[in-house]
Amino acid sequence: MISVEQALGKILENISVLEVEESPILSCLGQVMAEDVSSTINIPPLDNSAMDGYAVRSADTVGASRKSPRTLRVIGIVTAGSIFPSEVKKGAAVRIMTGAPLPKGADGVVRFEDTDESERKGNSSEVAILTEAVPGLEVRRAGEDITAGSLVLSKGTVIRPAEVGVLASLGLSAVKVIRRPVVAVLATGDEVVDIAKPLPEGKIYNSNTYSVAALVLRYGGVPKILGIAADIEDSLVAKLHLGLDADMLVTSGGVSFGDYDIVRDVLAKEGEIVFWRVRQKPGRPLAFGMIKGVAKRGEVKKIPLFGLAGNPVSAMLNFELFARPALFKMMGREPLAKRTLEAVIDEDIENSDGRRIFARAIVEKRGGQYFARLTGPQGSGVLTSMALANGLVVVPEDTPGVKKGDIVQVMMLDWSESVE
């Protein structure tokens, strides 16, 4: 049976980066830029005021103080978005609002607080300046943020809200990015029932489709829900064929040793199995292969298929361990691995059969040290253990386990205030 690393290596060998497309900036969160973006404009475009106040010639304010004010003639007002039509000559000032371009002749701004503004109440023909201005005072320089001609965002950048804002500030409504993978999600099992229906005796609701589709969304893919296949080959093949235009197929269930575990057989018929079974717990029965799909222009392409185990914890875990890195590789994102940290484990975890154990845990930071405690029962059907957990304690294979107080590696699923 292959190790987690070997399995991941074989998966990534079969995955390539997707094509580039132009997309509206707001649709690009989490996507990777496929082009360098330079600016054709200065931002801000003109010298402008950082404060509400008076635009002055600093030379006119030399020696000004509260005890010895300098009175200037107010020749008008300039608001954000307009250009003052004349020049500020010696002895003159212009009322200026934040963001308004600095009038010609002025070289600094004295904020209202440093004038007698509050006492004047509407009499705006003159103003007393109570402090000395220096050239550039409260002035935001043209091009201070971005200079025309400069490289602003480079190819390979992951787009976050700040990048969306920067692109908008350049006046760009769309940008070239590596496109999002479409991930077809299929549940299997005669016992599995759609969540919109009543639950007959002996059946269970389909949770895997939703946890997996949520993971796809979280990591930047587009889920395409194919529904539930019954445990007969015809049903599985028919449903699978609905997903052949996707970039990745993810099934759950039907990959163990049971009489009705047919995913592997179908994978073998529709394509090739790269491996199945990984030396880990939970999630051993993972099948991975490439099946013949259909590309947009009708040509045949190969699509990676992840046959996740049916148990809800195993399905999520194997998505995190194997499908997520594949998704990230398709999107051009790095790093592929989730973050790990070292924590003190607060109970023994026994490893009896040489597999790598991933135990659901709650990680907290106390006194500069991380501590991990298990979420409770670790059965692979206990999905609430995933809801409680923020990390997975990794117990190495080929060890008898870990003891309370040992330092263990934890693969973090989430970061919350308790660990920051």
Residues that bind ligand AMP (CB under 6 A): 187, 189, 191-192, 204, 206-209, 252-256, 258, 309-312
Closest approach of Cβ 207 to ligand AMP, in Å? 4
Closer residue to Mg ion, CB minimum distance, 181 or 189: 189
Q: Which is nearer to ligand AMP, 115 or 251 (by Cβ)?
A: 251
Could you tell me the smallest distance in angstroms from the CB atom of residue 173 to Mg ion?
Answer: 47
By a kind-dependent CB cut-off of 5 to 8 A, residue 206 interacts, out of ligand AMP, Mg ion, none, with ligand AMP
DSSP class per residue in 149-209: T-EEE-TTPBP-HHHHHHHHHTT-SEEEEEPPPEEEEEEE-TTEE-TTS---TT-EE--HH
Of 103 and 189, CB closest to Mg ion: 189
CA distances to 207, 371, 372 from 418, rounded to whole Å, are 28, 10, 11
Q: Where are the beta strands (DSSP E) in 220-299?
A: 222-229, 248-252, 271-276, 280-281, 287-294
Rounded CA-CA distance 99/51 in Å is: 8
208, interface contact from Mg ion, ligand AMP, none, CB < 5-8 Å by kind? ligand AMP
- When the beta carbons of 114 and 261 are compared against Mg ion, the nearer one is 261
Minimum separation from the CB atom of position 203 to Mg ion (A): 12
| 391 near Mg ion (CB under 5 A) | no
CB of 266 to ligand AMP, least distance (A): 13
> What is the H or E stretch that residue 34 is in?
none
For 353-400, the three-class secondary structure string (H helix, E strand, C coil) is: CCCEEEEEEEEEEECCEEEEEECCCCCCCCCHHHHHCCEEEEECCCCC
Q: How far is the CB of 257 from ligand AMP (least distance, A)?
A: 9
285 in contact with Mg ion (CB under 5 A): no
Instruction: Give residue number: closest CB to ligand AMP.
Output: 310
Give the contacts of 203 (CB within 8 A, at least 6 positions apart): 191, 192, 193
Return the bridge partners of 127, or none. 72
Pick the closer one to Mg ion by CB: 181 or 310. 310
> Residue 207 binds which entry of Mg ion, ligand AMP, none, with Cβ cut-offs from 5 to 8 Å by kind?
ligand AMP
Length of the chain: 420
Minimum separation from the CB atom of position 189 to Mg ion (A): 4
Site string for Mg ion, 304-333 (x = CB under 5 A): ------x-----------------------
Distance CA 110, CA 232 (A): 80
Instruction: Report the partner that residue 282 touches, choosing among Mg ion, ligand AMP, none (CB closer than 5 to 8 A by kind).
Output: none
Q: Which does 256 bind (CB under 5 to 8 A by kind): ligand AMP, Mg ion, none?
A: ligand AMP
189 binds Mg ion (CB under 5 A): yes
Helices 263-270 & 233-241 angle (0-180, nearest 10): 50
283 is in the binding site of which of ligand AMP, Mg ion, none (Cβ under 5 to 8 A by kind)?
none
Residue 411 corresponds to which tokens in the numbers above? 């693969």
User: Which residue type sits at 139?
Assistant: V
Task: Rank residues 18 and 236 by Cβ distance to Mg ion and give the closer one.
Answer: 236
Beta strands 369-374 and 356-366: pairing type? antiparallel
Could you tell me the sign of the dihedral formed by the alpha carbons of 106, 109, 113, 118, in that order? Answer: positive
**Site residues (CB under 5 A) for Mg ion, limited to 237-266:** 253-254
Residue 13 or 201: the one with the smaller Cβ distance to ligand AMP is: 201
- Give the count of residues interacting with Mg ion (CB under 5 A): 4
The residues binding Mg ion (CB under 5 A) are 189, 253-254, 310
